[in-house]
Amino acid sequence: LSFSCGQQPPPSHSLLRFPGFQRTEAPRSPGAKDLHAYPWDKSSLKSMPVDLQQFEKLDAYALKVNVKNSVEELVKALLKQARTDLEKVRAIWMWICHHIEYDVVGYHNKSQLSSKPRDVLQMGKSICEGYAELFEEMCSIAGIQCKKLSGHAKGHGYKTGQTFTGDSDHAWNAVYLEGRWHLLDSTWGSGSVDDSFTKFTYRYNEFYFLTHPALFINNHFPDNSNWQLLKPTLTLKEFENNMLHNSNFYTLGLLAAHPETPIIQTVNGKASVSVDCRPGTLFMFKLKGTDEQGLMTLKKHGMELDIYPQKTGSHKLEIFAKPSKGEASDDVYNCVLEYVVECGSVDKAMRFPKELHQPVGPSWFSERQGFLRPSHRQPVLLTRDGRCCLTFTLGRDISVLSSLHADGGSLPEDVGRRHVMQIHRGNQIELKVHLPHAGSFVLKLYSKKKSDPGNYDYVFNYLIRCLNTEVKWPAFPESYGKWMQDYEILEPLSGLLPANRNVQFKLKMHGIAKVLVQAENIHPLTYNRGCWEGTCNTSGCTEVFVMVHENANHSFYSQVLKYEVERQ
């Protein structure tokens, strides 16, 4: 969380001169050449080209400087390694962000607080006013034009959609580099405070160094609109209504979010949000703390989310993101957006099963796990007759597991697996799904490398819906270890056979010597054009097994399929 710093006196500018440093002139007001176009052109996060790798040595040096006796001595020590004005500003910025902590006690008791640069340096802590004055003073000593700015900020305690009245509540700086003004906020660059505003944590944030003005305006509104450095400038009303994108939003490579206003009204019980980003970003969301009341789909360049709140009223919606690959520290999802969803009516039909995982449907992420060319790209499958069929091309060395899930315990795990039949044809896999009844189901897909002995990993899921209450498909027959993945049942597909009937069998199997169907009697199948065929009578038995003889010289049979017979 960033934070603000209470009321403050109007900005004062100290023009001090110290021996050995050039004197700074009075800062000029921003002119046409300082302005950047609004809205943001999605080019750079900074207002001038900056190569952070070139700063590595200087940054490391600045962090180690330990001078506390006077501001002048501190600047002198920092500038030993800095040649250009940009390097001087960088050294001052790095030192302040890593050595001055936010004074949470002083914030609550401002009468005891001094924001004079000398006092801030001695104490090693201050509120934003002190950060900004120290920054201004150090730049002035270094011969760089710098101005302390004040205004309103969407910082600690900001509530979505709130208005700003009265005195300004935050301070930051503008610095003059290479013929233009640039913005920075060393308070927010240094770290964050906790929700209760009692503890400060150093957490360096590069985003607030020379931030592009079209992004800085997102949460900083200066008292003097010239210091927005924007063309056109925003009104306070526009600032209040604009969506707050925190620094995580931009540092994770996100580009835009829709809607662009923070308060969303549902239409017929539904609200939609989408985010545009650079490829390879993972998302999650929470509506009132859970992800159960929405459908999120990952797109190559972002994500789309439909929310169906199951209660009327105002709900907080948070969107989180993280890069899909990167350093170990990137395992954490960071909050990038907050909306308030105002729900006037509830769409009860859009209650989702608890088993549904976000995101829903295939995406670049499932492709990366080896599920290529999905026949169904949508997250939701609607079926009239309770049956559906999906196909994928599988990546090399991929083994697949699938299962069907429903709410209310109507589908125990072993039964849920038998309502999906997997058929392999070369590198294609077909999944036949037969639903046991009407309602909402989750089809989950898992995979692993065939060469790995380990467990299957969950990859993605679909939502399957059927409104036809007459649907009642039995499970597919149970298969055993000797049933190879490229075998195929042509008939009977139902795992429940009628009693006292002749049932036709047709099975696609290869590389075996004999196939028998064992009911009350044994019925051999005959091989004909790649299929084993024959009939079997189900009278007098409760189970029917298909057995195979792998080698004509052996008398040993293996069970491969098991069917149940209807009770009479």
Task: Indicate which residues carry an active-site annotation.
Answer: 128, 170, 185
**Rounded Cα gap, residues 215 and 221, in angstroms:** 11
For strands 496-497 and 558-565, give the pairing. Answer: parallel
For strands 531-537 and 478-479, give the pairing. Answer: unpaired
Does an H or E element contain 191, and which?
A: strand 191-193
Indicate the SS3 state at residue 418: coil
Tally Cβ neighbours within 10 Å of residue 44. Answer: 13
Distance spanning both ends of the chain, measured CA to CA: 68
State how far Cα 23 lies from the chain centre.
Answer: 49
Place of tokens 């010597």: 513
Which CA distances in Å does 209 have to 28, 30, 46, 305, 440?
21, 19, 8, 32, 50
State how far Cα 102 lies from the chain centre.
Answer: 30
Question: What single letter denotes the amino acid at residue 358?
Answer: Q
Residues of the chain by 3-state class (helix, strand, coil), percent to 5: 20, 35, 45
Residue of 12, 112, 119, 128 whose CA lies nearest to 71:
119
| Residues ≥6 apart with Cβ < 8 Å to 55 | 87, 90
8 A C-beta contact, residue 250 and residue 45: yes
8 A C-beta contact, residue 89 and residue 140: no
**Rounded Cα gap, residues 197 and 4, in angstroms:** 11
8 A C-beta contact, residue 173 and residue 183: yes
- Cβ-count burial of 367 within 10 angstroms (0-12 exposed, 13-18 middle, 19+ buried)? middle
Tally Cβ neighbours within 10 Å of residue 319. Answer: 22
Which CA distances in Å does 282 have to 307, 319, 395?
18, 11, 21
Which CA distances in Å does 560 have to 110, 262, 502, 504, 518?
80, 58, 20, 17, 11
- Locate all alpha helices (DSSP H) within 275-411, ordered by sequence: 364-368
**Rounded Cα gap, residues 149 and 169, in angstroms:** 11
- Locate all alpha helices (DSSP H) within 403-542, ordered by sequence: 413-417
**Rounded Cα gap, residues 124 and 184, in angstroms:** 20
> Which two tokens mark 40?
């943001």
Rounded to 10 degrees, what is the CA torsion of 239, 243, 244, 246? -130
Place of tokens 């999944």: 431
Phi/psi at 337 (nearest 5 deg)?
Answer: -150, 145
